[in-house]
Amino acid sequence: MILFPAIDLKNGQCVRLEQGDMARATVFNLDPAAQARDFETQGFEYLHVVDLDGAFAGKPVNAQAVESMLKVIKMPVQLGGGIRDLKTVEAWLAKGIARVIIGTAAVRDPALVKEAAKKFPGKVAVGLDARDGKVAVEGWAETSTVTALEIAQRFEDAGVAAIIFTDIARDGLLKGINWDATIALADSISIPVIASGGLASIDDIKAMLEPRAAKLEGAISGRALYDGRIDPAEALKLIKRAA
């Protein structure tokens, strides 16, 4: 089970949003590379990064910040935001990103996900961000008409490494992960699922380690790590003990 610390990039800075709203951003660190190094020093083993500006622009925007992180840490990085074509997938993997996350294009262009997953086995994840059960796209600015399960099922045999499922209503609000919806999704597909959106306390870490969550690959934590609601040492010790 992996606890992924999250770095969300906006204007080259490390921020957290509330419910995906760019107008409700809190800056936590002006230096993303320093933040990434801190997370590695704390003992985390896998970093989750989102180029927020890229998600809205449809192409990478914070590439410089991402590259600066890759230079100072050894742990693998999964990256999402603005990855909408094979060329961008290839470019990021060539720069040392361990796994790319395709979100909007997974809804609009499923063939891209299948092609990328076939070409780069184990290197492509799908980001499904749901608002009232329906998947949102374009940096969460638009809501589609399909459910997360419907989209996840499209990729059952495509070789996708993971599905990252976010409940937008909870994201950045510290209300706790929507474990019921996340586990229901994981139980309905064979692709590993990563929980995201609202992780609030050590209770969420304990919930992630319960037997019913066994099919999950892990969870992503953002604001709770930044504001001290979760002690990294305590969380990682719990996970290690459960392993």
Catalytically annotated residues: 8, 129
DSSP secondary structure of 135-193: EEETTTTEEEEEEHHHHHHHTTTTT--EEEEEETTTTTTTS---HHHHHHHHHH-SS-E
Beta strands in 60-111 (DSSP E): 77-80, 99-102
90 φ/ψ angles, rounded to the nearest 5 degrees:
-60, -40
136, 130 Cβ separation under 8 angstroms: yes
Q: Which two three-digit tokens encode residue 242?
A: 């459960």
Q: How far apart are CA 168 and CA 132, in angstroms?
A: 8
